[in-house]
Amino acid sequence: MVATTSDLPAFAINAINLASARLGATTLYATDDFFADKSRMLQDTSAVFQADKYDDHGKWMDGWESRRRRNGGHDYCIVKLGTKGVIRGVDIDTSHFTGNYPPAASIDACVSAEDPDDKTIWTPILAPVSLGPSAHHFHAISNEWAWTHLKLNIYPDGGVARLRVYGEPVPAWEGKDRNTTHELSLANNGGRIIAYNDAHYGSVWTLLTSGRGVNMGDGWETRRRREPGNDWIIIKLGAPGIVERIEVDTCHYKGNYPDACSLQAALVASATERSVVTEAMFWPELLARQKLQADQIHAFSGETIAGLGPVSHVKLNIYPDGGVSRLRIFGRLA
């Protein structure tokens, strides 16, 4: 079962998956992953089932699966998050695990500069909850601490297809050189998507990740526009800054890249996500309308970028529609 946007709880909509392999999350240790390697649990793609696929350990499953426990206790897996962040909710996904899912699970968290060890102090953030076969299990997390590692406990054993950890990255800006250029829009640095008018294709949050897109599904792409106007997306920067360089990358978008783009920006003191959408219509232009090309990095700097001073939010307009793989906003901390 694939979770669509309409199925997602409020905490997951437009949130960053802190346990995403794309963001740099890794599985450090599992008590057992005999049937299915623990690393599969963090893949960004939805879990799949291949009926005729087997390996040396038995049926191949897309997720983390431990063997049947015969000696008491329970299994667990330690995950290093892609970036330190405040967790708003999780999805413990047992897709395709029907007779081999864990009956229950819980999650502990810690803050550590090194890999956790026997001396690590773990804090429970999700008490034991019941799990069912082949289903998404969404649970809100009421905790304002920023964490670096999680321990997913399953009782007593079994398989988890995917673990999604929805939250907000907390970048360590303290001590950073304010005369150095930083990638203010990067998800790992706290950049996040606030709103968009359409995101029919692709994985919209990857617009703010590092590296170039791996394929045409790795970015923000809108449907074909059949009415007047243009498409747009609003991003909150990881910290207010003075923009010095902008990159708009249409990697892999060849017959569906936007004809042109522009950016607006503003320093927003306080607002709701809904009010920002309205206010953004009147923000000043940061980058005037620019022609785009297929499958190319478009870099803008110097006098092409308007001197607006410190900004905290940007709005990318594309004309009339299409796909953008990456948006990078570089600037000095305000």
Task: Give pTM, 2 decimals.
Answer: 0.87
Q: Output the six-digit token pair for 274.
A: 């809904």
234 closest CA partner among 199, 292, 192: 192
CATH T-level assignment (fold) for domain 5-169: Jelly Rolls (2.60.120)
How far apart are alpha carbons 283 and 275 in whole angstroms?
A: 13
Question: Per-residue pLDDT for the chain (334 aa), expressed as one digit of tens each?
Answer: 555 556 789 999 888 999 999 999 999 999 999 999 999 999 999 999 999 998 888 899 999 999 999 999 999 999 999 999 999 999 999 999 999 999 999 999 999 999 999 999 999 999 999 999 999 999 999 999 999 999 999 999 999 999 999 999 998 887 788 889 999 999 999 999 999 999 999 889 999 999 999 999 999 999 999 999 999 999 999 999 999 999 999 999 999 999 999 999 999 988 777 899 999 999 999 999 999 999 999 999 999 999 999 999 999 999 999 999 999 999 999 8
How far apart are alpha carbons 36 and 158 in whole angstroms?
A: 10
Three-state SS at 241: strand
CB 253 within 8 A of CB 318: no
How far apart are alpha carbons 96 and 47 in whole angstroms?
A: 8
Identity of the amino acid at 241: G
Opening angle at CA 62, ends 61 and 66, nearest 5: 60
How far apart are alpha carbons 231 and 330 in whole angstroms?
A: 23
Query: Do 5-169 and 182-333 come out as alike in CATH topology?
Result: yes
Give, as one character, the DSSP assignment of residue 305.
B
What are the residue ranges spanned by the domains of the chain? Answer: 5-169, 182-333
CATH of domain 182-333: 2.60.120.260
Phi, psi for 146 (deg, rounded to 5)? -100, 130
Helix/strand number for the chain, H first, E second: 1, 23
Burial classification of residue 78, based on how many CB atoms lie within 10 Å of its CB (0-12 exposed, 13-18 middle, 19 or more buried) = buried
Phi, psi for 23 (deg, rounded to 5)? -80, -10
